[in-house]
């Protein structure tokens, strides 16, 4: 380790910044966030610094640097655009044993300001040991994505309970176990979801004398998106790595399943057209039972759980049984397939609205409001429409949609097996019959389909990008 990482108390401590440009402004901003008392010496100031002076946040002396300026300072930053001046400041500061940072001159620095992920009071500082500030910034971006915004609240809550927990669990090992439970379990989830009252109620339960025997289960109803693992949300990923049981169905792509915790128990519950591994009521019951046994259950569903996903029914049962749950949206097949096929679902010139419907066949028919679906200037997306395609085409045309209306059929959208058939209502069935698609498939009907000729951008890779097969073996469609 070339440099010693430290977190310094700078509240109300005097700090000097020499220079008034954009770089100086960034450094000033960091010092002010840490509560330092900042003096800036520079003949002129960047607009951001002028605003800060006007707001009374710092003292400005509009003149060049003088030797005696370093007196009484706890920390100095040399950020002028004159290298010689910066060097002189560094020499003076070093002679007086005052930590100094010199912009763009690592040799002259006795400390550096790291890249920061700020989840105050939690702060992550990253240094590349003066070698590559850009690399440190890149790492910071990655960590920003990984550390939920609510971690500050979690730290603040932990701080408030620290003494009580110490009192309640005298044994350090018990205390550690308690904090593990709180910081990785239902309490943390409540905090990250912004539900502070519920979080405190749970922590109080955990502190109750009989808490060790009681376990609080929870269900995360998570949308896994249409197939490409890069399309899941940060929150989904975090919960996927936290849950100890995964209940998933057929539309969840293998690489996404592989992103769940390695030691998690995995339960497959279907569903394929006319072939359900478990009936819906049995799935609802299973979730309740698992949660009651104290498990953190990930209910992973393709696309978005609230769009043709029966997610509502599952949480209805959970709510009735008093099981805590949260719902994490996913990218629904319509959005994923349309984006990856280069077909905007709405467009000022072609479609002012979009309708999502299910083309699921029941007793050989599809019960839909066909006159509404046949209106012009709209896009209609059919989920589960492959088997009923001839009926869909026939019904639309019977209600006045012209036979040359464009239609796209997207097979396994967003995956390496994506294939897009485009044609018209009059031609699509012959195209599909000549080269049967592999489900799942989605139908997009409307003038917007024409835009694909110009906007098609996605070239499916030859093989899955994420290792294991991306095949989302067909389901209803």
The two structure tokens encoding residue 132: 């590559």
For the CB of residue 279, give the shortest distance to ligand SAM in the complex, in Å: 15
Residue with tokens 């790595």: 241
Give residue number: closest CB to ligand SAM. Answer: 303
Q: Which of residues 120-149 bind ligand SAM (CB under 6 A)?
A: none
Site for ligand SAM in 430-449 (CB under 6 A): 440-442
What DSSP line would sit under 57-86, residue for residue? SSEEE-S---GGGGTT-SEEEE--S-HHHH
Q: Is 251 in the site for ligand SAM (CB under 6 A)?
A: yes
Kindly name the residue from 69, 228, 249, 304 that is annotated as catalytic: 249
**Site for ligand SAM contains 378 (CB under 6 A):** no
Active site residue 249: yes
Residue number, 103 or 410, with CB nearest to ligand SAM? 410
Size of the residue set binding ligand SAM (CB under 6 A): 26
> Smallest distance, Å, CB 251 to ligand SAM?
5
Residue 383 near ligand SAM by CB under 6 A: yes
Is residue 412 a contact point for ligand SAM (CB under 6 A)?
yes
Cα separation, 31 vs 9, whole angstroms: 11
Residue 102 to residue 79: CA distance in whole angstroms: 6
Distance CA 200, CA 158 (A): 10
Of 199 and 283, nearer to ligand SAM (C-beta) is 283
Distance of CA 395 to the CA centre of its chain: 40
Helix (H, G, I), strand (E, B) or coil at 265: strand
Residue 146, CA distances (Å) to 113, 151, 195 in order: 22, 11, 20
Q: Are strands 296-301 and 218-223 parallel, antiparallel or unpaired?
A: parallel
Does 381 participate in binding ligand SAM (rule CB under 6 A)?
A: no
314 is a contact residue toward ligand SAM (CB under 6 A): no
Q: Is 384 in the site for ligand SAM (CB under 6 A)?
A: yes
Q: Report the C-alpha gap between 297 and 161 in whole angstroms.
A: 27
Residue 307 engages ligand SAM in binding (rule: CB under 6 A): yes
Name which position in 410, 420, 425, 445 contacts ligand SAM (CB under 6 A): 410
Does position 406 interact with ligand SAM (CB under 6 A)? The reply is: no
Closer residue to ligand SAM, CB minimum distance, 151 or 383:
383
The separation between CA 461 and the C-alpha centre of its own chain, rounded to angstroms, equals 24
Q: Which residue has the tokens 């390496």?
A: 416
Binding to ligand SAM (CB under 6 A) within 37-96 occurs at none
Residue 421 near ligand SAM by CB under 6 A: no
- Provide the token pair at 364: 């050989």
Q: Is 340 in the site for ligand SAM (CB under 6 A)?
A: no
Q: Is 227 in the site for ligand SAM (CB under 6 A)?
A: yes
Widest CA span in the chain: 91
**Is there a contact between 24 and 32 (Cβ–Cβ < 8 Å)?**
no
User: Which residue is catalytic, options 69, 271, 301, 304?
Assistant: 271
292 among known catalytic residues: no
Q: How far apart are the first and last CA of the chain?
A: 58
Omega into 226 within 30° of 0, i.e. cis? no
Binding site for ligand SAM (CB under 6 A): 226-227, 251, 301-304, 307-309, 332-333, 337, 383-384, 410, 412-414, 440-442, 472, 475-477
Catalytic (active-site) positions: 249, 271
């Amino acid at each position: 380790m070339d440099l010693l990482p430290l977190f310094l108390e700078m509240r109300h401590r005097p700090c000097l910044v020499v220079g008034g440009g954009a770089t100086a402004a960034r450094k000033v901003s960091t010092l002010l966030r840490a509560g330092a008392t900042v003096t800036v010496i520079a003949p002129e100031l960047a607009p951001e610094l002028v605003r800060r002076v006007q707001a009374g946040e710092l003292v400005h002396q509009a003149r060049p640097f003088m030797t005696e300026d370093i007196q009484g300072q706890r920390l100095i930053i040399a950020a002028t655009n004159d290298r010689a001046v910066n060097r002189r400041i560094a020499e003076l500061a070093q002679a007086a044993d005052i930590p100094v940072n010199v912009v763009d001159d690592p040799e002259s620095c006795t400390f550096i300001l790291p890249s920061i992920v700020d989840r105050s009071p939690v702060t992550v500082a990253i240094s590349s040991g003066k070698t590559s500030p850009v690399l440190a910034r890149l790492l910071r971006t990655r960590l920003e994505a990984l550390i939920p915004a609510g971690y500050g609240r979690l730290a603040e809550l932990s701080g408030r309970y620290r003494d009580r927990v110490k009192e309640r669990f005298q044994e350090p090992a018990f205390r550690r176990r308690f904090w593990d439970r709180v910081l990785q379990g239902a309490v943390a989830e409540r905090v990250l979801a912004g539900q502070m009252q519920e979080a405190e109620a749970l922590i109080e339960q955990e502190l109750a004398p009989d808490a060790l025997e009681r376990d609080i289960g929870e269900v995360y109803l998570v949308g896994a998106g249409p197939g490409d693992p890069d399309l899941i949300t940060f929150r989904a990923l975090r919960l996927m790595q936290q849950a100890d049981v995964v209940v998933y169905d057929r539309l969840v792509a293998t690489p996404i399943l592989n992103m769940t915790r390695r030691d998690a128990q995995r339960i497959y519950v279907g569903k394929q057209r006319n072939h359900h591994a478990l009936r819906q009521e049995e799935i609802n019951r299973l979730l309740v039972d698992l949660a009651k046994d104290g498990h953190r259950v990930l209910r992973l569903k393709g696309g978005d759980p609230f769009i043709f996903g029966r997610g509502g029914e599952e949480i209805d049962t959970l709510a009735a049984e008093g099981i805590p749950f949260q719902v994490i949206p996913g990218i629904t097949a319509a959005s994923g397939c349309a984006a990856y096929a280069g077909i905007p679902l709405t467009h000022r010139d072609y479609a002012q609205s979009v309708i999502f419907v299910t083309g699921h066949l029941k007793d050989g028919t599809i019960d839909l409001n066909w006159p509404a679906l046949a209106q012009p200037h709209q896009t209609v997306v059919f989920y589960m429409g492959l088997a009923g395609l001839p009926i869909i085409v026939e019904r639309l045309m019977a209600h006045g949609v012209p036979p040359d209306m464009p239609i796209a059929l997207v097979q396994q959208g967003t995956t390496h097996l994506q294939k897009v058939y485009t044609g018209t209502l009059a031609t699509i069935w012959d195209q599909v019959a000549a080269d049967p698609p592999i489900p799942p498939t989605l139908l997009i009907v409307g003038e917007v389909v024409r835009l694909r000729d110009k906007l098609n951008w996605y070239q499916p890779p030859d093989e899955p990008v994420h290792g294991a097969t991306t095949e989302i073996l067909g389901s209803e469609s």
